[in-house]
Amino acid sequence: MTGHLSGYKNQVWALVDVKSFYCSCEQLFDPSLVNQPVVVLSNNDGCCVAVSEQAKALGIQRGAPWFKIEREARQLGVQVRSSNYALYADMSRRFIEELHRFSPHVEQYSIDEAFVRLDGFRLDTLEQYGSTIRDAIRDHIGLPVRVGIGATPTLAKLGNQAAKQFECRVEGVIKIDSDVRRQWILERTDIQDIWGIGAKTASRLRTTGIDNALQLANKTPADMRRLWNVGLARTVMELQGIACIEPGDIDETRKQILSSRSFGSGISNFDELKAALAFHCQRAGEKLRKQGSQANVVGVFLRTNRHKNLPQHNRSSAMPLSCPSQDSYKFLDLALLQLKQLYRPGYEYQTIGVILNELTEAKNDSFQLDMFNSSALDEHKRRDLMAITDQVNARFKNGIKPASVIGSTNWHMRQAFRSNRWTTRLDELPIAKC
């Protein structure tokens, strides 16, 4: 294992995430919401999927059903908005594009966070560079971010969490560049707050006397591999400052699921893009089902290579499903509809990807149905089909793949409090009369 890791020792990682992303997007285009308690609601204005810091201070919790708390929230002066998927998808694209100005190696982890490789920078300049990234995104995009910097993705993630916890003291940027600072942060990090360690593993570790990240980091990787598994051994090495995990390697219950890959050469043909999109819908669906979740929203992004002197076309969108689903083919239907809207002939695209968002727990004995197109029996059959597909593909790589795309009908969703789609619709721009 040591020999395999020798090439990773000079890596530097930064994790950049947007603070309360949905709420920040709403506040950006409506200054009256700045420093006010704001909540953003889910599909059909159901639950609170995003809560601003001011709303949290009033006791509003993420996931709370709006119909239960509406009266009290309005009495407290809470401002409410419906989810504006087109706006959030476009702001996410702009956020990622801005990060590409600082490094050619940017790996989007979710709709509002990304890992950025900063190899080759002097350690004593990294904190200033992190502040530069923070200021540039605030000035050019208008979004507030936090930046955690470390020698490994895991340490960068912990640095980002510490930047959130101690934001008033560090102004949103923390660099873990010494053993003293690393140990100080690890000692104050609960074992379950480590990237990639779930509740079950955390409970088992506590029975052995490991309650925080520092206690885990003081273990030897060889012992952890022998007594536990190779995944936990790699986490120990990451906490010790030896990078051995790529951002896409972590298997955890995520708030969003992303599947994307850059092409070996640029692609202009729509059918080839459609084939790649089908692959990513299937891959994202497999990840979703593996962690026992279902998705409410499907997003698609399409990008050219900004580092080539070619015409540029970078677009993204997001659309809600009629009801939560685990079905890869439903994701593909909605994703293909978006691809047809995003695609423009004559451009050489480098990357296409799918993001599944607003994830909730999938229960086998109960699920929400589409009033017009589904029955409980049909849904059980679809879930059985997905389970069989996953089993076959686990044994035979890509044994079952999408063969066709089923057309999707238009439908409308209740969004009583949606703000304007400021960045993607000309007809919703404000009009100044003088």
For the stretch 321-344, pLDDT in tens is: 888 888 888 899 999 999 999 999
Of 6-15, 108-117, 123-132, 201-210, the poorest mean pLDDT is in: 6-15
Banded pLDDT at 405 (limits 50, 70, 90): very low
The whole-angstrom separation of Cα 340 and Cα 211 is: 50
Report the pLDDT value the prediction gives residue 289, as an integer from 0 to 100.
86
H helix or E strand, kind and range, residue 97? helix 85-99
Of 57-61, 344-348, 405-409, 416-420, the poorest mean pLDDT is in: 405-409
Half-sphere exposure (CA, 13 Å, Cβ side) for 184?
Answer: 11
Taking residues 394-402, report their average pLDDT.
62
Banded pLDDT at 15 (limits 50, 70, 90): very high
Report the pLDDT value the prediction gives residue 7, as an integer from 0 to 100.
35
Q: Would the pLDDT of 177 be above 60? A: yes
**Where would I find the beta strands (DSSP E) of 32-131?**
38-41, 48-51, 79-82, 106-110, 113-117
**Same topology between domain 1-177 and domain 189-252:** no
Taking residues 199-203, report their average pLDDT.
86
Q: Would the pLDDT of 211 be above 80? A: yes
Q: Which CATH architecture has domain 257-405?
A: 2-Layer Sandwich (3.30)
Percent of the chain with pLDDT over 90: 28
**Taking the model in full, what pTM does it have?**
0.67
Report the pLDDT value the prediction gives residue 18, as an integer from 0 to 100.
94
Alpha helices (runs of H) in 257-375, residue ranges in sequence order:
270-290, 328-342
Report the pLDDT value the prediction gives residue 21, as an integer from 0 to 100.
93
Q: Would the pLDDT of 116 be above 60? A: yes
Report domain extents, the chain. 1-177, 189-252, 257-405
Whole-number average pLDDT of the chain: 82
Q: What CATH number belongs to 1-177?
A: 3.30.70.270
Q: Is 424 exposed, middle or buried (0-12, 13-18, 19+ CB in 10 A)?
A: middle
Report the pLDDT value the prediction gives residue 324, as an integer from 0 to 100.
85
**Where would I find the beta strands (DSSP E) of 140-191?**
145-150, 173-175
Q: Would the pLDDT of 256 be above 90? A: no
Q: What are phi and psi of 277, to 5 degrees?
A: -65, -40
Report the pLDDT value the prediction gives residue 8, as an integer from 0 to 100.
38
| CATH 3.90.70 correct for 189-252 | no
The whole-angstrom separation of Cα 28 and Cα 141 is: 9
